[in-house]
Structure 1
Amino acid sequence: MSEEIERYLRAGTRENTRRSYRAAIEHFEVSWGGFLPATSDAIVRYLVDHAGKLSQNTLRLRLAALAQWHVSQGFPDPTKTPVVRQVLKGIRTLHPQQEKQAEPLQLRELERCVAWLERQSQEARESGDYGLLLRCQRDRALLLMGFWRAFRSDELCRLQVEHIQAQAGEGMRIFLPRSKADRDSLGVTHSAPALARLCPVQAYLDWITTAGIAYGPVFRGIDRWGRLAESALHPNSLIPLLRGILSGAGLPAELYSSHSLRRGFATWATRSGWDQKSLMSYVGWKDGKSALRYVEAGTFFPGGFRQLPAE
């Protein structure tokens, strides 16, 4: 395979997926001692050895990685045989697992976090702590944009200033050149409202103004001396960042993850009267199962559609 072909194949797969697939192949070959190319019998033994030890989501990811490796190398895919499918079905039957989900960040918790960040910002101004002020402004914008647009962590980290048009009191348009739901990488433009309270537009404008950012990544690292990084935050850094905010606001941080913003918005929208079709369109879900997975248990989709509140 030429380097040019390899370059385009890499571009067609998300970095997180490539990283997960590499780890899965290493686990099969090195940790378990498997041989590639593999037979369906070897795949079955691998599944049986890890049934009940690894989650079913992890097993499915490992199979996807093995399937991708075989197809990319020109070998038949051993994961698609009837015996592998039957063993997977047996694992689901004998080792049922309840899917673990992060707690949705409800609107009242969001308000509490933002209020704490605003108090911290005021203290930073009074004490002249520029680094703390930057972190508070960044985190406030990240929380509010992440919530009201229901962005994934990798989408938040890929936001670019030159792809955002924001007008105080009116709203903002956000262009994402690629995302998980954008399978054809055509790019998607999202809109976000200007609100009287918990406004993502004003939070964004406050942040880029304070930080003096005119181009490049919106959300960046800040060192202990208050120096702004040129590169974007890594998606894996958002969970400790979010939990730090929650702890500061006096909330049980361990219950939440970066998915909590997305789940929180979905729950809020549903309780506010959004129907399933409207929520799916706004968030970018292609099927109803995705929507139901993110909405808090016990919440349902009533009829009617309501826009985001102006206040």
Structure 2
Amino acid sequence: MNANVQQYIDAADRENTTRSYASALRHFEVEWKGLLPATIDTVARYLAEHATVYKISTLRLHLAALARWHADNGFADPTRSPLVLKVLRGIRAKHAAPQRQARPLQLDVLEQACEWLLQAQVAAVESGRRAEALRRARDRSLLLLGFWRAFRSDELARMRIEEVRAVRGQGLTCRPGRTKTSDEEDDRAFRCPALSRLCPVDAYLDWLELSGRTTGPVFPGIDRWGNIAHEHMASQAVLPLLRRILKDAQVQEADTYSSHSLRRGFAGWASANGWDLKELMEHVGWRDVGSAMRYIDVPQDSVKAKIERALATSDGRPTKASR
């Protein structure tokens, strides 16, 4: 294949997707001893034998990897057959566990954690513990940007200084590279205003000033001697980092929070403070209402108030529709 063509084919697949597909194919061929090209019956049997081993999302990933292999190599795709699709529906009906929602990070918890990080940073600077001071400044910036921008862990991990323009007292604009939800020609800018407290702009600039960095990942790893990595933080590292921050800040049940807690916490806060759904979707970057609604809890006090208002204006007689 022409080298110029191949470079664009390679660019179309994100690194994580390529790695995941390779792992899925290796499991099918090497560990399960499946043969490629696969038959419809083989794929159906593969699903059935792993129905209680893998989550539905993992099984779908394995099917996608098999579908890609067959398409790339000019074979008919067995994963789209009625038999395979029916087996997958049966697995979902019989074994799918209810989806667990992330615990939202409330504003008071954010404030508690950020105040502790700031105090720890000041103490570390005063005592000459540079590595600790850098980590506290980085972590405070990560928490505040993650909350007020409702970023996913991969969005936080892949932020680069070159993509961000921040002015103290005004705001911050980030023009990220492609993410898993961006379109081919998407040039979306994420903006965050400067705030009177818990300010993500100040926290970001404080972190850069302390580290002295002008290029590279916004949130890199930092070793025990204060050496800052040149590579971005792995998205999988955000969850243990978040829990460690909350635990150090004496937040109750720190291990119950997940990397989606920042996004869900902001969505809940915004909804409770009068943001309409369109405003919230535009700020976070959601493309459809379904994605947004998964992150919003309807406060029970609000539900009760609406019911009580309806009862107060009702004479107690059933309507025609309810007879």
TM-score by length of 2: 0.87
- In structure 1, what residue type is equivalent to 2:86? Q
How far apart are the structure 1 equivalents of 2:96 and 2:299?
21
For the pair 1:213 / 2:213, whether they are aligned, the reply is yes
Deviation at 1:145, TM superposition (A): 0.8
CA deviations over 1:179-237 (Å, ceiling 9, x no partner): 12212153321110111111110000000011001122211111111122222212122
Question: What is the match of residue 176 of structure 1?
Answer: 176
SS at match of 1:282: helix
Question: What is the match of residue 60 of structure 1?
Answer: 60
Question: What is the match of residue 30 of structure 2?
Answer: 30
5 Å matches for 1:157-176? Answer: 157-176=157-176
Question: What is the match of residue 292 of structure 2?
Answer: 291
- CA change 1:68–1:294 in 2 (3 A) is farther
Question: What is the match of residue 276 of structure 1?
Answer: 277
TM-score by length of 1: 0.91
5 Å matches for 1:1-311? Answer: 1-251=1-251, 252-296=253-297
Question: What is the match of residue 309 of structure 1?
Answer: none
SS at match of 1:188: coil
- In structure 2, what residue type is equivalent to 1:224? R
Greater alpha carbon shift after TM alignment, 40-49 vs 254-263: 254-263
Please tell me whether the aligned partners of residues 55 and 96 of structure 2 are also in contact (alpha carbons under 8 angstroms): no
- CA change 1:299–1:107 in 2 (3 A) is farther
How far apart are the structure 1 equivalents of 2:87 and 2:263?
34
How far apart are the structure 2 equivalents of 1:258 and 1:22?
26
Deviation at 1:100, TM superposition (A): 2.7
How far apart are the structure 1 equivalents of 2:100 and 2:23?
22
- CA change 1:57–1:125 in 2 (3 A) is same
Please tell me whether the aligned partners of residues 221 and 229 of structure 1 are also in contact (alpha carbons under 8 angstroms): yes
How far apart are the structure 1 equivalents of 2:20 and 2:8?
19
Please tell me whether the aligned partners of residues 194 and 201 of structure 1 are also in contact (alpha carbons under 8 angstroms): yes
- In structure 2, what residue type is equivalent to 1:139? D
Deviation at 1:2, TM superposition (A): 4.8
Q: Considering only aligned residues, what root-mean-square deviation do their CA atoms show, in Å?
A: 2.0
- In structure 2, what residue type is equivalent to 1:192? C
CA deviations over 1:113-141 (Å, ceiling 9, x no partner): 10110121121022111111110000000
How far apart are the structure 1 equivalents of 2:234 and 2:207?
18
SS at match of 2:141: helix
CA deviations over 1:67-123 (Å, ceiling 9, x no partner): 122112222211111111111111122223111333222212111110110121121
Report sequence identity in percent: 50
The structure that has the greater radius of gyration is 2
- In structure 2, what residue type is equivalent to 1:12? A
Deviation at 1:299, TM superposition (A): 7.6
Deviation at 1:298, TM superposition (A): 5.7
- In structure 1, what residue type is equivalent to 2:254? A
Deviation at 1:301, TM superposition (A): 11
- CA change 1:165–1:207 in 2 (3 A) is same
- CA change 1:34–1:153 in 2 (3 A) is same
Deviation at 1:45, TM superposition (A): 0.5
